[in-house]
Structure 1
């Protein structure tokens, strides 16, 4: 972390190729003291915080968490090791350095902006400062939530640091979650309550009140489950978490898209489009970097999970990471429309031109969600398929909110929990034939299984397993096979946490301690 805080993150890093509100020109030859003077400059600083969401390569946390779950194997080429190491919980030097640096850079930028807001001349617009502060605090909370889930004990930094403060000790998870909860509550209370239909298209991708309330629900469920607590770090009670989710459901203006396959570009069922009524928050990507490796505005995860080294219409090529575990395919009922909309089956789709080649851990199944498409591929648009894929990454969907609300209402309002659960199941089965009855005793199991099917390959499953306990996670993730390449043994001694990069421990001069189960 010293390397991040030792230098000022220059304003000139702002991307000029992001979507809509992020399309602001770079600012050159500005100093920190002369820059934060007016609302436009504050917006550009806010864009710099958002821009950090686009950063990520083979270590994208969405992909890594799917590899670590029971949904996927590492895959990739026979010589690719890192994806398999995440899948199997194996050691690798600095394998998580990109994750650490991405999020602490975003936190740094958010902290700088928050520290400068009082000095901006806001003119007659007294609400704009609160809005920018709310967005910055949401993003800081989002960055910290990924960090603390991933690493457990992490440094907690809420201001610009002096040289003597670079080696800030690791905080307890409770302290980090307290900040996350406070930041999200701040955002939820200060962002305008504009329902989905009233959000300008130019603002899609910006966080909203509804995104903040939804993320509170997700953080609450993870923290209280993983740490076996009754509330969220003393800041959000269960009743409050329910109220936040209920507000999204009753006031946010969101709804389920009529057909699950229409949510996904590659599902081939009249794609409803990005920023639809089910998308509460997404990370925006674009092809407009046009092969410029410095832009970092494309969705790199797409090339990683694409079918390896071949174009099989309607799909475009990629690196074959995250081959889907057949157990996930087989978990779906044959009448569930989500199976074929979420997963590519080489056999069922009669992709006879497929050749295994050097694909590692071939299972016959690949991601359909986020799969790059041949029509409109990045190369055809003048870009590079390695860096310019442009499907947005959906972080929070309305279906997730319904299932979170169903889970939290199980004990207090079983009827309401059933209603929310039924909405998700009915959409999946195009009618009531797939309904199951929730009970206080068995409702949690049914909802967790529903989350597995509804949110498969969306970066949720691993965390849902961990919050149910190490025994549940191990039972799901362990994979016994006569073929050694598919053997996975979840190491409970790690408590599901990932390895802190050795570089950061070394730079801390021994202040940072490695997580259990990992060598220093």
Structure 2
């Protein structure tokens, strides 16, 4: 390996470790003449910016246990701070990070007019230049995506599109969230047509061949970011006056995603294909972040009571109750649903069995015994760390992973779903419903009703849930839609943010657990309510006190 490449690698590590927040810290900026005279070094800078994409695979600290999807089994977990009142500006669980944005700004500033002319006689020069010319659009997407994550957490945030000096960094002010959302939408509009749909089909391009760069930003990812941004912008947290034009724009953007996916053979497939080692190849995927080989989700969440099982994020009864009865399409507690209190998991939405492990399940495959989640059972309380809810997690875990000390084989590929088609049928349904005012409404533009859009998701080949009925009242549709969204997108990083953008904090004031008792060969099931702390200030994150001290121009979010 050349010395210059070793030094560049060390510089990358140093660059990644510094400037974790908006505060300025000393670091050596890459020299333009060094980075932008070598295609490999330039690509490494862009790859480093990609590394700031988020993921929330189930682990300690995952937001699934900071909302009513699940409950973390161990009392020492920091995630409990979201729900027990410890959350504060000095205990901020900070997402106030501008490092990816700073690096994107550096690339966009310093790459201007780079032509790699000294490499023009290389045989791959034309192909490499095509790839380089796309980088600016990929990086603009990444910067916009990072800003979306900041805005949904904090609301108003400083909108910075250049590299700052130390003095400038400590004087920035917060930009109104509407301006930040508008910036994201405009960036998406500007760059969408500059990016390919499928990198494997490019001709005369460095990304083609035996190792196509299938993990890069595509046009459909840009459309998806725009649509998600507009949905959040239209939602009650950020649309206090319920401006119908924001809902119209959100509906149109989601429709654009659906139309584009339909035209490019991106289709709903099996629900079970959403996770697993090959999930990035599933036909409904719009953008997936490759995490790599790891067994962390399994070692964190496999049941206590099997070798090296640690428990972890345990699905709540609140979530289980969202899964309707398959024969009737009704909630468990609706009259005529067909629910059997003595056999509570029979006849339910098939997504329940794919997502959640219940008492008696043979889970995972490497567990020699069926689960015993009843009180006193092999995988249950009072064993330390056992599930407090009566359930263990399946979704995003590989059931064939062996975590035993003697025969454990290490981790397998995991990939985090950033955007997939199922989300945008639901987003479309929500936006059109709020714009047109009815679950069955259509017009000349939005020819698919909200009910029809939701039914597309429920009609997957391995789900086949009854259609949403026509004629529902607004309140009936909202209740049923939110239940469907909780089920379809469970553990995919949506629920924590959905309850905030809807301003539905009251739903987070408690969580339901299932207490199971064994009586001979029979079981009794009792729902137990556990209180959680909620304050409306928690709709937005607190800006860390450390940032407020360094920058007098920052203002704190209300209540913190």
TM over 0.5: yes
Show the counterpart of 2:190: 186
CA distance in structure 2 between the partners assigned to 1:215 and 1:191 by the alignment: 14
Show the counterpart of 1:254: 266
Q: Greater CA radius of gyration, 1 or 2?
A: 2
Number of aligned residue pairs: 464
Task: Give the Å deviation of 1:432.
Answer: 6.0
What SS is found at the alignment partner of 2:51?
helix
Alignment of 1:34-53 (within 5 A): 34-53=34-53
CA distance in structure 2 between the partners assigned to 1:158 and 1:171 by the alignment: 12
2:424 to 401, 413, 416: 401
Contact 2:154 2:557 in 1 (8 A): yes
1:77 to 52, 63, 74: 74
Structure 1 pair 514–36 and aligned structure 2 pair: CA distance change class (3 A): same
Is 1:210 equivalent to 2:187 in the alignment? no
More moved, 335-344 vs 85-94: 85-94
CA distance in structure 2 between the partners assigned to 1:368 and 1:238 by the alignment: 32
Show the counterpart of 2:531: 487
Contact 1:177 1:232 in 2 (8 A): no
1:224 to 225, 228, 234: 234
Task: Give the Å deviation of 1:397.
Answer: 1.4
Comparing both structures, which one devotes a greater share of its residues to strand?
A: 2
1:86 to 74, 82, 85: 82
Question: Which stretches in structure 2 are left out of the alignment for 5+ residues?
Answer: 1-7, 16-27, 121-125, 325-346, 363-369, 373-377, 437-442, 514-526
RMSD: 4.0
What SS is found at the alignment partner of 1:142?
helix
CA distance in structure 1 between the partners assigned to 2:165 and 2:112 by the alignment: 20
Show the counterpart of 1:237: 249
Contact 1:223 1:232 in 2 (8 A): no
Structure 1 pair 77–11 and aligned structure 2 pair: CA distance change class (3 A): same
Task: Give the Å deviation of 1:85.
Answer: 1.0
Show the counterpart of 2:107: 113
CA distance in structure 1 between the partners assigned to 2:273 and 2:291 by the alignment: 19
2:349 to 330, 336, 346: 336
What SS is found at the alignment partner of 1:504?
helix
Contact 2:199 2:213 in 1 (8 A): no
Show the counterpart of 1:3: none
Task: Give the Å deviation of 1:445.
Answer: 4.1
2:274 to 263, 272, 281: 263
Task: Give the Å deviation of 1:491.
Answer: 0.8
Is 1:475 equivalent to 2:506 in the alignment? yes
More moved, 245-254 vs 166-175: 245-254
* TM-score, normalised by the number of residues in structure 1: 0.77
Alignment of 1:97-496 (within 5 A): 99-101=95-97, 104-121=98-115, 124=126, 127-167=130-170, 168-194=172-198, 202-225=212-235, 226-228=237-239, 230=243, 237-238=249-250, 240-257=252-269, 259-265=270-276, 273-287=279-293, 302=297, 305-307=300-302, 311=306, 317-318=309-310, 320-333=311-324, 334-349=347-362, 350-352=370-372, 353-356=378-381, 357-359=383-385, 362-371=388-397, 373=399, 375=401, 390-410=413-433, 411=436, 412=443, 413=446, 415-427=448-460, 430-431=463-464, 433-437=466-470, 441=474, 442-468=476-502, 470=503, 473-479=504-510, 486-492=530-536, 494=537, 496=539
CA distance in structure 2 between the partners assigned to 1:380 and 1:202 by the alignment: 37
Structure 1 pair 264–59 and aligned structure 2 pair: CA distance change class (3 A): closer
Task: Give the Å deviation of 1:33.
Answer: 4.1
CA distance in structure 2 between the partners assigned to 1:43 and 1:184 by the alignment: 22
Structure 1 pair 480–12 and aligned structure 2 pair: CA distance change class (3 A): closer
Structure 1 pair 239–479 and aligned structure 2 pair: CA distance change class (3 A): closer
Q: Alpha-carbon deviations, 1:33-85, whole Å to 9, x = none? A: 42122443322211010112268899988x22x23322123x242333x2111
Task: Give the Å deviation of 1:264.
Answer: 3.1
Comparing both structures, which one devotes a greater share of its residues to helix?
A: 1
2:550 to 507, 510, 514: 507
Show the counterpart of 1:295: none
* TM-score, normalised by the number of residues in structure 2: 0.72
CA distance in structure 1 between the partners assigned to 2:89 and 2:529 by the alignment: 21
Question: Which stretches in structure 1 are left out of the alignment for 5+ residues?
Answer: 1-7, 16-27, 266-270, 288-297
Task: Give the Å deviation of 1:515.
Answer: 2.0
More moved, 142-151 vs 37-46: 37-46
Task: Give the Å deviation of 1:11.
Answer: 4.6
Structure 1 pair 391–116 and aligned structure 2 pair: CA distance change class (3 A): same
CA distance in structure 2 between the partners assigned to 1:130 and 1:455 by the alignment: 35
CA distance in structure 1 between the partners assigned to 2:198 and 2:467 by the alignment: 34
Q: Alpha-carbon deviations, 1:63-116, whole Å to 9, x = none? A: 22x23322123x242333x21111345325754455323xx1111111111112
Structure 1 pair 282–212 and aligned structure 2 pair: CA distance change class (3 A): same
Task: Give the Å deviation of 1:155.
Answer: 2.1
Structure 1 pair 438–12 and aligned structure 2 pair: CA distance change class (3 A): farther
More moved, 220-229 vs 207-216: 220-229
CA distance in structure 1 between the partners assigned to 2:157 and 2:483 by the alignment: 31
